[in-house]
Chain A
Amino acid sequence: MTAAGDQAVEADVLIVGAGMAGAAMAAVLARGGRDVLILESGPDRSLTDLVSSQIWARRLKWSGAPVRHEGAHGFAHNLNTASGVGGAALHHYATWPRFHNDVFRLRSAYGRGLDWPFEYETLRPYYDRVQSEVGVAGDAEAETWRPEGAPYPLPPLPVFGQGAAIARGFEAAELPVAPLPAAILTAPYKGRAACLYDGWCDAGCPVGALANPLATYLREALEAGARVRPHCHVVRVLSNGDRASGVAFVDADGEPRSARAKVVVLAASAIQNPRILLNSPDKRRTDGAIGDRSGALGRYFMLDGLALAYGLFDDVETDPHMGVSAGQLMHRRTHAARGKDQPFGGYQWQIAPSMKPNDIFGIAISRSDIFGQELTDFMPRAVRHIGSMAGMVEETARIENRIELASAKGRSGAPLATVVHDFDEDARALWTYVRDEGARIMKAAGATEVWTGPMNAGHLLGGTIMGASPESSVTDGYGRVHDVENLYIGGSGLFPSS
């Protein structure tokens, strides 16, 4: 996937991280005539690496510097991230809903969390543009919770037996569902093939139907002349005071190197971006890191709580191995649409994700409490009749949840990252509410057996939040670090809410 003959370690724009955020910026900048160089800490990847196996797919997951956890509610970092060209988006599920209006004004409207430096209307044309560039499938009218915007360019995902069975429960509860909005092609689009609904998204989509970077923005970036160097582990940003001059990195041979650029973009994940900045001394201050004038660097780290509900539908062949990993249908509720006496926050159900027999979201692990003959009896029944759905539960940004540098160092010599995270009482209460609702819906759908999973979490957010004030945030609304005019952050680490 990388360009051949690449030796120059300088560029107009230097991007750290070859995931979706870095790839999208690289495509735009390279098309605009800029010389773009991407440094990626992991190995090179190509579509032929995306083997249809939940076992083989583990090679895609994080294998870089270990990330430490503190606090009561951690998460599986290595599962939620990835190493290599394409980043976590190489195995992402491509659920692409729009943030609703509420999300941008939590502090102003509810006195909770943080405000964004702009509102939905500012982002709306970019949502429209990206869905047209990448190809997003869905039914905008059916999404009663969706803010205004252009209709999806592709028809919605199909519904299989699993989705139809669970939808009965939502209908009984008078809760609306809509086709899940997905960056997955339901018809050929811009030279890419349509999805086959074989349920292997988690292992990566070599068809190119799912919008992974190799099939979309990274391909475009390389075609426009951008370069990618894998196995380059960035340890700090170099600066001359008000401007970034480049980055220091360790190359594939373990040699310390530096790269120079007019503009530097950190797009290395919500954890690695603050890790790099916290390890980058700000020469203008005797004690402080680049981007940390406000003290917000590394702070306001967030996760989505994950609630899992399962049921066995003996009257339905659910074909759980079919469809896509994200699910077939969605139900979404904002805080504004919920009762004021209920725990604060919004959530969404992703209904009927494809399930294979094994792996972390597979059929056998859904009943991790059983083993031996009981498991042997369960499996043939479940592969024909199981239904599941995943509830993604909002967490409000809190300054206590953070990424900081550990005293231990990785192979590059840079300090490791430690994540300190707890869900507060509201988040735990909302998670419990969502879990219990899931069980009720499964019963209402006619499931003969219903069970739920333990509290989990995913989706890394915050840590380098944007904001209107340099006194309380790391970047402005463009992702530019407040007091370093040519240093930008890309990705979900910018988000002040989830």
Chain B
Amino acid sequence: MGATQIIGKREGQTRRELLRNAQRGVAAVALGGVGAFCPRTARADGAPMAVLKSAAIVKLLESFGETLVPGASEAGLAHYIDDQLAKRPEDSLLMIRYMDIPPPHDGFYVGAMAALDASSKVRFGAPFTELSTDQKRAFVGELSSGNPPGWSGPPSPLVYFVVRADAVDVVYGTEEGFERLGVPYLPHIPPETNW
């Protein structure tokens, strides 16, 4: 390690704050209101969906997401995914971009939720949303490592990974999520909205 300097988190705080304040105005202009949508608020307000028009699909997505990451449903997971699916593919912020699955991606989510429900009925004799908490936990553990019986759609481990990542985004990946975890956000250019 030699003479390597060891420093703490407070170093440079003053200049960082100055930078943040200077950049907020720039960011607001640059983003031009693109980020004005707030999934948590949209869900609380019962805002209509743009792409995921089926109430059953939305209910499934919220139930599955909540099982994966507690708090995801209230944080507006379904509204977040729906809003992103409505954008041009190059503007989408969804993790599925990294999976090299060509857009559009609405078919992935719709197919995944249909597979989830169909398999749940084969496995437990009931739709996913009607399973007990323990049953949901056991089922999600099963599908995370391989397609369960009756699964027909995108591979279940991929569905688990992608929707879990989406749920992590809305629960932990926002300024609000950082704050709940006690992690200083320290933006150079803050996202326009706190989601």
> Residues of A at under 8 Å CB distance from B?
43, 46, 48-56, 58-59, 61-63, 66-67, 69, 74, 76-79, 83, 139, 142, 156, 158-160, 164, 167, 177, 179, 196-200, 205-207, 319, 321-322, 329, 356-360, 362, 364-365, 368-369, 371-373, 375-376, 379-380, 383-384
Contacts and interface: CB of A to CB of B under 8 A. Distances in A.
A357 B98 contact: no
B93 to A, nearest CB: 5
B1 A167 contact: yes
Nearest to B7: A158
Contacts of A53: 173, 187, 191
20 contacts: A51-B190, A52-B189, A53-B187, A55-B93, A59-B91, A66-B102, A78-B97, A78-B100, A83-B90, A158-B5, A158-B7, A159-B1, A196-B188, A205-B188, A319-B8, A357-B172, A362-B173, A365-B168, A368-B161, A379-B172
Interface string B129-169: 00000000100110010000000000000000100110011
A207 B30 contact: no
B6 A319 contact: no
B56 interface: no
Given A205-B188, A357-B172, A364-B172, A371 B93 contact: no
Given A48-B189, A58-B93, A79-B98, A372 B182 contact: no
B188 A67 contact: no
Contact of B4 (A58, A139, A376): A139
Contacts of A368: 161, 164
B68 A371 contact: yes
B71 to A, nearest CB: 8
Given A160-B6, A177-B1, A358-B168, A51 B93 contact: no
Given A55-B173, A196-B19, A358-B168, A371 B67 contact: yes
B26 interface: yes
What size tier do the contact residues of chain B reach?
Answer: 35 or more
A169 to B, nearest CB: 13
B119 to A, nearest CB: 17
Contacts of A197: 7, 11-12
Nearest to B137: A372
B3 to A, nearest CB: 8
B61 to A, nearest CB: 15
A379 B67 CA distance: 16
Contacts of B161: 368
B15 A196 contact: yes
A160 B173 CA distance: 22
A83 B91 CA distance: 11
A446 B164 CA distance: 30
B168 A362 contact: yes
B98 A49 contact: no
A46 to B, nearest CB: 7
A61 B98 CA distance: 8
Contacts of B4: 139, 156, 158-159, 179
Contacts of B140: 371-372
Given A159-B7, A321-B183, A358-B173, 16 more contacts: A58-B94, A58-B95, A62-B97, A63-B97, A66-B102, A139-B4, A158-B7, A164-B1, A196-B19, A199-B186, A206-B23, A321-B184, A356-B173, A364-B164, A380-B181, A383-B181
Contacts of A69: 100
Given A76-B99, A322-B9, A358-B168, A50 B188 contact: yes
